[in-house]
Amino acid sequence: MVPYPLTSNADSNCKVLIVMDAHLSSRQRYVAYCVGFAAFLFQFEAFFVHIALPDTQRELGVSGSAIAQVITIYLLGAVLALLPGGFLGRRFGFAKVFIIACVIAITGTVLSACANALSMLLWFRLIQGVGIGLMVSAGYTLIPMWLERDHLGWGYGIVSQGAGLGMILGLPMGGLVAHCLEWRWVFLVQIPLFAALLVFAMRALPADALRENRTTSLKGLLERLVRFDLFAYCLLTLFLFQLILGGVRYLAPFYMESTLHMSSLRSSLFMLVYAIGFILASAVAGRGSDRYGSGKLVQISYMIAGGGCLLFAVQLSEGSIAAALLLLFLGVSTGLFSAPNNRWMMSSIPSDLVQEVGSVLPVALNLGVVSGISLFQYAFYQTGLSQNQGEPYFIMYGFAGAAFLMLLLMHVLMRRHTSVINQAG
């Protein structure tokens, strides 16, 4: 199915872009801002904990491969909850599932702060991840449910900007807390934020209409989705992009602290370069995809990500300068990829599939991140690469750069030989 047509006349596009926000009701804005707040917390929590991992590892006295499970078990819980979240939303209402998810996330966060061993922390992180997964599943569905197709890019742009802001605040705060306080405070400081989201969601989210007599199985849903070539292609590239990105992003703070000998606070401030690049690119990409289409922005994102990783691999001797350039390139490429690719997918399917499909997007995203962290972590620690100083990062980031460029090649070939993608922009 070809997504909604874009006006070809440039002046007409300008007019549409100017009045776009005026056509949004307050209810639609509140839905987008609430989901954006959830995206903010999701990334805030992830980067807050991620940047504090090296210090948490030292305080708990565990190995690098063991502490990596704090991230992977959380993401695993989120992934496991995503598809059930979609079915629960259709049965009980996505707004209600979103609110319940906030309560579960708060519970998991409180329990994580009370853990007295790594094994307990992992179980409580799983609970926290389930809450976040249900929240993300409902949020990704609420956007296309309440916003017209002409505003999907704007809506997903709000979500991306919220995520970018979460990175910007999560990175320095995570580094500061890890530097000054014990590891439990990494979770304690998150509790008021989740509580604020819960209050906002209860006041802002409208009750959505339930779909009775809707018994589509997962198998039946997948059978319907594979008929839409563009959706299947975008879903695959979302998984692969996040797999590579998740791996290289996981290694970044360890490189800065082990090789560049930065403190956790300084490395967290350095990671701000990624977040700033992401949020600035997201602000352009959301509305740009509504106006010009998604294909070109996605293609540019692959070029920037691949070039950034390869440049870093050959410029490791430059130290902090090379690291800053890498983070900037990764942030910009992720911002240019996220909203356009999401808009591309959701505008390629009929409206009667929106509720079923909303939970599939974050499954591909988080499954890609989990797979990437696991793959890179295994290659880094289990193969003995971590025993060296510069060589393992050259290998890992060189591989990542080549993988991003393979995505670019696949994208170019698909655009050249597939009429569906050409028609979609």
Count, residues in the chain: 425
Confidence class for position 294, pLDDT limits 50, 70, 90: confident
User: 132 in a domain, yes or no?
Assistant: yes
Q: Residue 185: which residues within 8 A CB-CB, separation 6 or more?
A: 113, 177
Structure tokens given for 86: 């979609």
Residue 20: is its pLDDT beyond 50? Answer: no
Confidence class for position 292, pLDDT limits 50, 70, 90: confident
Of 51-60, 84-93, 96-105, 159-168, the least confident:
51-60
User: 19 in a domain, yes or no?
Assistant: no
User: 275 in a domain, yes or no?
Assistant: yes
CA distance 121 to 108: 10
Q: What is the pLDDT of residues 76-135, one digit of tens each?
A: 888 788 778 877 887 888 889 999 999 999 999 999 988 888 888 899 999 999 998 898
Structure tokens given for 163: 């995520």
User: 298 in a domain, yes or no?
Assistant: yes
DSSP letter (8 states) at residue 384: S
CA terminus-to-terminus distance, the chain: 13
What SS3 state is found at 338? helix
User: 182 in a domain, yes or no?
Assistant: yes
Of 37-51, 141-155, 277-291, 372-386, the least confident:
372-386
Q: What is the pLDDT of residues 299-317, one digit of tens each?
A: 999 999 999 999 888 876 5
Structure tokens given for 134: 């249900």
CA distance 398 to 311: 9
Cα dihedral sign for 141, 205, 32, 102?
negative
How many domains does the chain divide into? 1
Q: Show the DSSP H helices in 115-217 as ranges.
A: 118-146, 152-180, 185-188, 191-204
Q: What is the pTM of this model?
A: 0.70
Q: Residue 158: which residues within 8 A CB-CB, separation 6 or more?
A: 32, 33, 35, 36, 286
Average pLDDT of the chain is 78
Q: Check which CATH number belongs to the domain holding 303 and give it.
A: 1.20.1250.20
Q: What is the pLDDT of residues 26-36, one digit of tens each?
A: 788 888 899 99
pLDDT at 356: 64
User: 224 in a domain, yes or no?
Assistant: yes
- Domain membership of residue 174 as a residue range: 25-209+220-424
pLDDT at 233: 83
User: 18 in a domain, yes or no?
Assistant: no
Task: Tell me which of 293 and 143 has the higher pLDDT.
Answer: 143
User: 282 in a domain, yes or no?
Assistant: yes
The 10 Å CB-count burial string (b at 16+, else e) for 92-120 is ebbbbbbbbbbebbbbbbbbbbebeebee
Are the beta carbons of 250 and 50 closer than 8 angstroms? yes
DSSP letter (8 states) at residue 148: -
